[in-house]
Amino acid sequence: GAVVSQHPSWVICKSGTSVKIECRSLDFQATTMFWYRQFPKQSLMLMATSNEGSKATYEQGVEKDKFLINHASLTLSTLTVTSAHPEDSSFYICSARRFGQNYEQYFGPGTRLTVT
């Protein structure tokens, strides 16, 4: 149990276009989902926290107008990278907190974004 999926697993897009990444909790309801970004050889950096039905909370330095997060249901959160640029190329990982579960995050497999 406690499986989190992401789609797509990898995507290549042209500079200036927008890309949407989906994060789904497959077998549980997630009250809170988290989005991370990871550059090569670096640790995970928390970008934002999203709660179902409310606006996401962004970490300092993360542009909320560039990284749009929607948490429309208890099993789905989406991250849209708007007007992507090559510097947005990274590995994006989501995680979910199971409703009623206190201290564990369940991570998705990640999405590799390459902006050309």
Partner 1 sequence: LAKTTQPISMDSYEGQEVNITCSHNNIATNDYITWYQQFPSQGPRFIIQGYKTKVTNEVASLFIPADRKSSTLSLPRVSLSDTAVYYCLVGDWDTGNQFYFGTGTSLTVIP
Interface residues with partner 1 (CB under 8 A) are 4, 6, 34, 36, 43-46, 49, 91, 93, 95, 97, 102-110, 112
Task: Report in angstroms how near the CB of residue 32 gets to partner 1 at its nearest.
Answer: 8
Rg (CA), the chain: 13
Q: How far apart are CA 1 and CA 9, in angstroms?
A: 20
Nearer Cβ to partner 1 (18/27): 27
Q: How far apart are CA 23 and CA 87, in angstroms?
A: 22
Nearer Cβ to partner 1 (22/82): 22
Task: Report in angstroms how near the CB of residue 95 gets to partner 1 at its nearest.
Answer: 7
Residue among 33, 37, 112 nearest 67 (CA): 37
Nearer Cβ to partner 1 (16/109): 109
Task: Report in angstroms how near the CB of residue 108 gets to partner 1 at its nearest.
Answer: 5
The answer to whether 105 and 4 have CB atoms below 8 angstroms apart is no
109 three-class SS:
coil
